[in-house]
Structure 1
Amino acid sequence: MIPAAHISAAIEILGALAERRRPVADVLKDWGAAHRFAGSKDRAAIASLVFDALRKSASAQWVMGADTPRATMLGALREARGLDAASIAAFCTGERHAPPPLSDDERTRLGTTTLDGAPDHVRGDYPEWLADRFAAAFGDRAAAEGAALAARAPVDLRVNILKGSREQALAKLAHLDPAPTPLSPIGLRIEVGQGRGPALPAETAYVKGFVEPQDEASQLASLLCAAAPGEQVLDLCAGGGGKALALAGQMHNRGQLYAYDADGRRLMPIHERLERAGARNIQVRQPRGKADVLADLEGRCDLVLIDAPCTGVGTWRRHPDAKWRLAPGALELRLKEQAALLAQAARYVKPGGRLAYVTCSLLREENEDQVAGFVGQGFEALSAAETTEAAGLPELARFASPHGAGLRFSPASSGTDGFYVCVMRRAK
């Protein structure tokens, strides 16, 4: 396929996404199945265009003065790829499956329209219904924070310290040109630009368990829990096990870590990952109907981690379609789930033990406001300085939240995904 045909295909896929709120991965898969002639490189190029259009939908549509799939794609070629009107026109010839030629209005808009005077949600490429919430979280930096969430993310890897050091992992992956992550002492970063990321399943270092894909902020969230060898730890929302594996490394396989998730299906990938990582102190607790499979842990845990279900605002760099599928009702549902999890988790924390509350959201309602509504019920929130000192990462105290307890990380402030971390201690 020629590059212009990639653009036509991307416009078609954007149209399918507009018809139904479906994950973009599903729509791309369906398109590939219906167009078998498209090779893997073609599909990758088309997916990249679609993701760029989703990242920059609001600004692209502002530039073009329309919200059609074609307008979104044309505007994104300028806003996401930096192409000028002449370069975009060169792709739009109407020949050999290329998009139809630009209209006079399209050419004018691509050449002259700017984002000057556009509202923050347009300049930051986030949904308009979140404008007030972004303003509450970021103030006059709302547009800049949104724009950073609309950028491409690098590939971050966590070094499995049960298998080796970061220096050894750097050597094993030297052909991918990794660099140490700026904040996490156990992270590697691979910049991918507009290309595809590395095929990790084909990398020996991954297959042998030396590295795991994990954003740097997620690594920091695990490190700030300060899990120690010999402790009793419960990961209450373990999912696929990313943070549980990180905690097992910090514990050097000593003590006991219980991995639980209310949705047993989400836990299934953890078993293979445990074996690959060499994590031997993790006990997976699957839900079993109405049975209380965590009853024996009440009041026994040194640390309980809640990696809370949330809106996922902080992961928009990696899942740009999610921000346009997010609805206000989803936020209200998440807030109720988070409050219930905090109440549940408190049962398992022993006197003097710690409760770590983590989200990949940047909304105050899901973060500082949740903690403020919970502390005082036998728990106190540790200061950013206390949390970072305990983890041996005192330099991270500069990411203390300005809105209350906890620490905030974001693409604009820390170069990571958006995460919130708050560690609380139970009274003795």
Structure 2
Amino acid sequence: MIPAAQVSAAIEILDDLAARRRPVADALKDWGASHRFAGSKDRAAIASLVFDALRKRASAAWIMGSDTARATMLGALREARGQDAAAIAALCTGERHAPPPLSEEERARLETATLDDAPDHVKGDYPEWLAERFAAAFGDRAAAEGAALAARAPVDLRANILKASREQALAKLAHLAPIPTPLSPIGLRIEAGQGRGPALPAETAYVKGLVEPQDEASQLAALLCAAAPGEQVLDLCAGGGGKALALAGQMHNKGQLYAYDADGRRLMPIHERLERAGARNIQVRQPKGKADVLADLEGRCDLVLIDAPCTGTGTWRRHPDAKWRLAPGALELRLKEQAVLLEQAVRFVRPGGRLAYVTCSLLREENEDQMAGFLAVHADFAALPGAETAERAGLPDLARFASPHGAGVRLSPASSGADGFYVCVMRRGGNAERFPLPARRGEG
């Protein structure tokens, strides 16, 4: 397919998304199934165009003065890809499946329209209903934070220190030109291009368990929990096991880590991942009807991790369609789920133990406000200041990401170059000496 035909295909898919409001992956899959002449490179190029249009949907529509699929795609070619009016016009000839030629108004807007007078939610490409919430979280930086969330994300990997150091992983993947992540001592980064990312399942380093895909912020969230060898740890929302595997590495396979999820189906990928990673201290606890499969852990855990269900606002770089499908009702539902999980977790934290609350959200309601509500009714828990959390994890540089809105550490693409994450570590009464300062969590 010629590039102009790929643009036409992207417009067709954007039309489908507007009409049916469904995940972009489903729309792309259906288009590919009904256009089998398109090869894998064509499909990848079309997907890239669609994702760029979704990343820049609000600003592209503002530039073009219209929110149709065509207008969004044309605006995104300028805003996301830096193409000028002449280059875009060259794609819109109406020939060989190319989009119809530009109208005089379209060309004029591509040549002269700006975002100077646009509101922050347009400049930052996030839903208007979140404008007040972004302002509450970021103040006059809201538009810049939103723009960072609308950028392409790199491919981040975590070196599995049960099998290899970061230096060894970098050497094994040298042909992909990885670089060390700037904040995580065990992370590797492959910078994003306009095409598809590396095919990790075909890489020996991945097959043998030397690396795992994990954004740097997610790596840091696990490191800030400061899990130590010999501890008893419960991952209450383990899902596919990403953070459980990271914690097992910190623990050097010593102690016991229990991986649980109320939805047993989400745990299914964990078994293969455990074997590949060589994580031997993880015990998977599947829900079994009304049976209390965690009863024996009551009051025993040194660390309970809640990787809470949330709006996912911090991961929009990777899921740009999700921000436009997010509705206010989803936020209210997530807040209730988070509160329930926090209450459930209390049962398992021993005196002197820690409760770590993690989200991939940037909204204060799901983060600092949720913590304030919990602490108000649980006087036996105290939140560690963000700087102390970073120090205790052996990552003092992260103190600069201490939340300005309350307890915890808050990361965002604009501030850290990684996804948006929030981490709050709380200690339950007891003797503070039972929570010693651990050594730096790295490749030891």
Instruction: Compute the TM-score of the two structures, normalised by the length of structure 2.
Output: 0.96
Tell me the CA shift for residue 368 of structure 1: 0.1
**2-structure distance, mates of 1:74, 1:268:** 42
Which residue in 1 is equivalent to 2:403?
A: 401
Secondary structure in 2 matching 1:136: helix
Tell me the CA shift for residue 180 of structure 1: 0.3
Tell me the CA shift for residue 354 of structure 1: 0.2
Post-superposition Cα deviations, 1:104-136, rounded to whole Å, max 9, x if no partner, equal 000000000000110000000000000000000
**1-structure distance, mates of 2:414, 2:167:** 28
**2-structure distance, mates of 1:307, 1:405:** 17
Would you say 1:201 and 2:189 are equivalent positions? no
**2-structure distance, mates of 1:310, 1:21:** 20
**2-structure distance, mates of 1:10, 1:66:** 17
Which residue in 2 is equivalent to 1:151?
A: 151
Which residue in 2 is equivalent to 1:253?
A: 253
Which residue in 2 is equivalent to 1:288?
A: 288
**1-structure distance, mates of 2:270, 2:244:** 9
Which residue in 1 is equivalent to 2:180?
A: 180
Name whichever of 204-213 and 383-392 sits farther off. Answer: 383-392
**1-structure distance, mates of 2:257, 2:9:** 47
Tell me the CA shift for residue 192 of structure 1: 2.1
Which residue in 2 is equivalent to 1:346?
A: 346
Which of residues 414, 421, 424 is equivalent to 1:422? 424
Q: Which amino acid aligns with 1:230?
A: G
Secondary structure in 2 matching 1:375: helix
**1-structure distance, mates of 2:395, 2:116:** 41
Post-superposition Cα deviations, 1:210-253, rounded to whole Å, max 9, x if no partner, equal 00000000000000000000000000000000000000000000
**1-structure distance, mates of 2:210, 2:303:** 26
Would you say 1:43 and 2:43 are equivalent positions? yes
Could you tell me the percent identity over the aligned residues? Answer: 87
Which residue in 1 is equivalent to 2:415?
A: 413
Return structure 1 stretches of 4+ with deviation > 6 angstroms.
none
Which residue in 2 is equivalent to 1:389?
A: 391
Secondary structure in 2 matching 1:28: helix
Aligned pairs (5 A) from 1:59-78: 59-78=59-78
Post-superposition Cα deviations, 1:63-118, rounded to whole Å, max 9, x if no partner, equal 00011000000000000000000100000000000000000000000000000110
Q: Which amino acid aligns with 1:135?
A: A
Secondary structure in 1 matching 2:32: helix
**2-structure distance, mates of 1:93, 1:2:** 12
Which residue in 1 is equivalent to 2:438?
A: none
Tell me the CA shift for residue 389 of structure 1: 1.4
**2-structure distance, mates of 1:187, 1:363:** 26
**2-structure distance, mates of 1:320, 1:103:** 29
**2-structure distance, mates of 1:99, 1:159:** 45
Which residue in 2 is equivalent to 1:83?
A: 83
Q: Which amino acid aligns with 1:397?
A: A
Secondary structure in 2 matching 1:397: helix
Which residue in 2 is equivalent to 1:241?
A: 241
Tell me the CA shift for residue 320 of structure 1: 0.1
Which residue in 1 is equivalent to 2:189?
A: 189
Tell me the CA shift for residue 27 of structure 1: 0.7
**2-structure distance, mates of 1:166, 1:70:** 45
Q: Which amino acid aligns with 1:52?
A: D
Q: Which amino acid aligns with 1:384?
A: G
Post-superposition Cα deviations, 1:166-215, rounded to whole Å, max 9, x if no partner, equal 01001000000000000000000000221211000000000000000000
**2-structure distance, mates of 1:349, 1:371:** 16
**2-structure distance, mates of 1:238, 1:224:** 17
The runs of 5 or more residues in structure 1 that have no matched partner are none
Aligned pairs (5 A) from 1:195-344: 195-344=195-344
Q: Which amino acid aligns with 2:149?
A: L
**1-structure distance, mates of 2:103, 2:246:** 54
Secondary structure in 1 matching 2:321: helix
Tell me the CA shift for residue 289 of structure 1: 1.0
The runs of 5 or more residues in structure 2 that have no matched partner are 431-444
Post-superposition Cα deviations, 1:385-410, rounded to whole Å, max 9, x if no partner, equal 22111111011101000000000000
Q: Which amino acid aligns with 1:281?
A: N
Q: Which amino acid aligns with 2:214?
A: Q
Q: Which amino acid aligns with 1:357?
A: Y
Name whichever of 343-352 and 369-378 sits farther off. Answer: 369-378
Name whichever of 387-396 and 321-330 sits farther off. Answer: 387-396
The two structures, once aligned, show a CA RMSD in angstroms of 0.5
Name whichever of 157-166 and 372-381 sits farther off. Answer: 372-381
**2-structure distance, mates of 1:194, 1:44:** 9
**2-structure distance, mates of 1:139, 1:170:** 39
Instruction: Compute the TM-score of the two structures, normalised by the length of structure 1.
Output: 1.00
Secondary structure in 1 matching 2:126: coil
**2-structure distance, mates of 1:304, 1:363:** 23
Tell me the CA shift for residue 290 of structure 1: 1.1
Post-superposition Cα deviations, 1:251-275, rounded to whole Å, max 9, x if no partner, equal 0000000000111111100000000
Q: Which amino acid aligns with 2:87?
A: S
Which residue in 1 is equivalent to 2:160?
A: 160
Tell me the CA shift for residue 411 of structure 1: 0.4
Secondary structure in 2 matching 1:320: coil
Post-superposition Cα deviations, 1:300-342, rounded to whole Å, max 9, x if no partner, equal 0000000000000000000000000000000000000000100
Secondary structure in 2 matching 1:350: strand
**2-structure distance, mates of 1:9, 1:266:** 34
Aligned pairs (5 A) from 1:19-34: 19-34=19-34
Would you say 1:119 and 2:119 are equivalent positions? yes
